[in-house]
Amino acid sequence: MVRIKDVAREAGVAASTVSLVMNKKGYVSEATRAKVEAAMKKLNYVPSEMARNLSLNRTNTIGVILPSISHPFFGEVVEALEAALYEQNYKMMLCCTRHKENAEHTFVEMLKRRTMDGIIMGAHSLDVSLYEDIKQPIVAFDRFINDRIPIVHCDHHQGGRLAAEALLSQGCRQVVEIVGYQGVSTPANEYHFMAADVLQSHGTAVHMLEMPWNAFTYSDFMAAARELFQKYPEVDGILGADLAISACLNVAASAGRKVPEDLKLIAYDGTAVTRMGPQPITAVRQPIEGLCSLAVQKIINMVNEEQDDSPWVLPPAMLKGETC
């Protein structure tokens, strides 16, 4: 196996010079750089990624903490984050917290031990004191953690306004919003509050149906949909996450409610789930790919201690469908 000292001997330079060329650090003349690169090519030398990372005190690995990838939104987030990290020559280490006790603590300890370079955190943890004293790079994904950790998120104020205006344009007077567990502090709650403010300012009644903590399965949303129609039989408009609205569309059909004739439905997230059925769901689309590219850019800039003046918030868009 060819070693770095073999390349140095072939090029007639010190091993430390070869290291400078490979790591692109320090001054090396163009002539010397050319000699080293020629020697590497002649000897078919492949640098050890582990050795290079050790010398730079880097792992080129970013941890991603999310509640569940069975939920369509987080599934698309994982795919987009992995692709964005790959483009930057980084690897992703994934932690799903929903069924794993203390998994989040393990990831944070790995960050402290520098087993990874940074963390993109989007889990729905109730105890965020774990992150209070961490000095290593962390970016929050649509989640409030503390004042020191910055957040990448969609402009949920605008998203809530888009949803409310669509419901108002269809004459809705009794709206139910299916909201996530309110014990979790996330910017996403803002779209519910903004939509309620706009609707109520126009005289529309708004009711909130709160999901249990860490409820992400389709059966969870089907249970919520059944409860909604039993509790609010006069409902004429519903706003909630994609799976929640998909479940409502299912239950509405079995209850004889006609969509969109007498019941309007708007999903929030706009994942592929809203396009799959025979009746495409009207949705507010979060810019998932853009948010993930932004989160990756932010965490890598933090790892490299580089200045970053780009925005942390991206706007949503309205996707036309057949439910509102």
**109-123, 175-189, 287-301: least confident range:** 109-123
Asked, for residue 319, whether it belongs to a domain, the answer is no
Can you give the CATH number for the domain in which 172 is found? 3.40.50.2300
Q: Return the SS3 of 219.
A: helix
Asked, for residue 248, whether it belongs to a domain, the answer is yes
Residues 26 and 143 occupy one common structural domain:
no
Asked, for residue 316, whether it belongs to a domain, the answer is no
Looking at the DSSP bridge assignments, the partners of residue 313 are 153
Handedness of CA 8, 13, 15, 17 (dihedral sign): negative
Residues 80 and 162 occupy one common structural domain:
no
DSSP structural state of residue 226? H
Asked, for residue 324, whether it belongs to a domain, the answer is no
Distance CA 130, CA 133 (A): 8
DSSP structural state of residue 148? T
Would you say 189 and 248 are in contact if contact means Cβ atoms under 8 Å apart? no
The pLDDT value given to residue 259: 96
Would you say 310 and 301 are in contact if contact means Cβ atoms under 8 Å apart? no
Residues 114 and 160 occupy one common structural domain:
no
The pLDDT value given to residue 289: 97
Asked, for residue 196, whether it belongs to a domain, the answer is yes
Residues 80 and 129 occupy one common structural domain:
yes
Asked, for residue 321, whether it belongs to a domain, the answer is no
Residues 210 and 180 occupy one common structural domain:
yes
Please give the residue that has the higher pLDDT: either 89 or 125: 89
Nearest to 301 by CA among 90, 9, 124, 25: 90
| Half-sphere exposure at residue 140, Cβ-oriented, CA atoms within 13 angstroms | 22
Mean predicted confidence (pLDDT) in 22-44: 84
Domain that holds residue 227: 156-285
Nearest to 172 by CA among 194, 197, 203: 203
Nearest to 164 by CA among 273, 242, 257, 266: 266
| Half-sphere exposure at residue 234, Cβ-oriented, CA atoms within 13 angstroms | 7
Lookup result for tokens 């409820």: 215
Distance CA 73, CA 241 (A): 9
Distance CA 239, CA 165 (A): 12
Long-range (24+ apart) CB contacts under 8 A made by 304-313 are 312/150, 312/151, 312/152, 312/153, 313/152, 313/153, 313/154, 313/155
Cβ-based neighbours of 39, under 8 Å, separated by 6 or more? 7, 8, 10, 11, 45
Cβ-based neighbours of 145, under 8 Å, separated by 6 or more? 121, 128, 131, 138, 151
Can you give the CATH number for the domain in which 23 is found? 1.10.260.40
Residues found in the chain:
324
Q: Return the SS3 of 197.
A: helix
Residues 92 and 205 occupy one common structural domain:
no
The pLDDT value given to residue 71: 87
Residues 52 and 72 occupy one common structural domain:
no
Q: What is the pLDDT of residues 234-290, one digit of tens each?
A: 999 999 999 999 999 999 998 899 999 999 999 999 999 999 888 999 999 999 999
The pLDDT value given to residue 101: 61
Asked, for residue 124, whether it belongs to a domain, the answer is yes
Distance CA 245, CA 261 (A): 16
pLDDT, averaged across the chain: 89
Distance CA 47, CA 52 (A): 7
pTM of the model: 0.79
| DSSP H or E stretch at residue 284 | strand 283-285
Nearest to 283 by CA among 317, 315, 319: 319
Asked, for residue 318, whether it belongs to a domain, the answer is no
Question: How many domains in the chain?
Answer: 3
Residue 56 reports pLDDT greater than 70: no
Residue 48 reports pLDDT greater than 70: no
Q: What is the pLDDT of residues 176-209, one digit of tens each?
A: 999 988 888 888 999 999 999 999 999 999 999 9
